[in-house]
Structure formats: structure tokens, C-alpha cells
Amino acid sequence: MANQEHLDILKQGVGVWNKWRKNNPGLTPDLTSAGLSGFDFLGIDLTGSDLKRISLEKSNLVGAIFTKADLRLANLKEAYLSGVNFSEANLSWADLSTAFLLRC
């Protein structure tokens, strides 16, 4: 289950989230099983986040940073993933079917 405080910060927008991440570098955000389909997360920093079973279906994740994030069993169907950084991320069993991966 996702940490409600982390979800509340995220729902304030990418700018608020990225500033919070910068000010809390040692924290591991927990968005496990969060239902965030259809959101605009252009350029979001989710480095090292726990995103197991998260639903980001049809979300705009262009330029997002998922470095060292745990995306096991994540739903990324039809998500816009152009320019995304998945360095060292765990994408085991993640559903990327029909995701948009083209570089614009």
C-alpha cells in the first residue's frame, strides 16, 4: 500500500514532487499499488522509488527518471515513455504493452 503522505505530495504536481525529492534525498518514496493512470508526470523524478504494482496506464511520463526504481508488476500500458531513464530499474513483469517509446 502506498504511503498516503507521498501520494498527497505527488498529487500537488511534478514541480512540488521534484522539489520535495531534492530536499529529501535519503527517503525512499513508497507509491506501491497506487492508481495513477492518466496523470501528466512530464519530467518527474522517481529515482529509487518503490513503485511495485503501480498503475501508470495512459500517463505522460516523457523525460521521467526511474533510476534504481522498483517497477515490478507495474502497469505502463499506453504510457508515453519517450526519453525515460530506466537505468538500474527493476522492470520484472512490468506491462509495457502498447507503450509509446519513440524519441520525439
CA contacts within 13 A on the Cβ side of 86: 17
d(CA 42, CA 25): 20
Cα Rg of the chain, angstroms: 12
Mean pLDDT of 33-42: 97
Measured in degrees and rounded to the nearest 5, phi and psi for residue 90 equal: -95, 110
d(CA 36, CA 53): 11
Mean pLDDT of 14-21: 98
Share of the chain above pLDDT 90, in %: 96
pLDDT level of residue 101 (50, 70, 90 thresholds): confident
Output DSSP code: residue 104: -
pTM value surpassing 0.85: yes
> Strand, helix or coil at 95?
strand
The ranges assigned to domains in the chain are: 1-99
| pLDDT higher than threshold 70 for residue 50 | yes
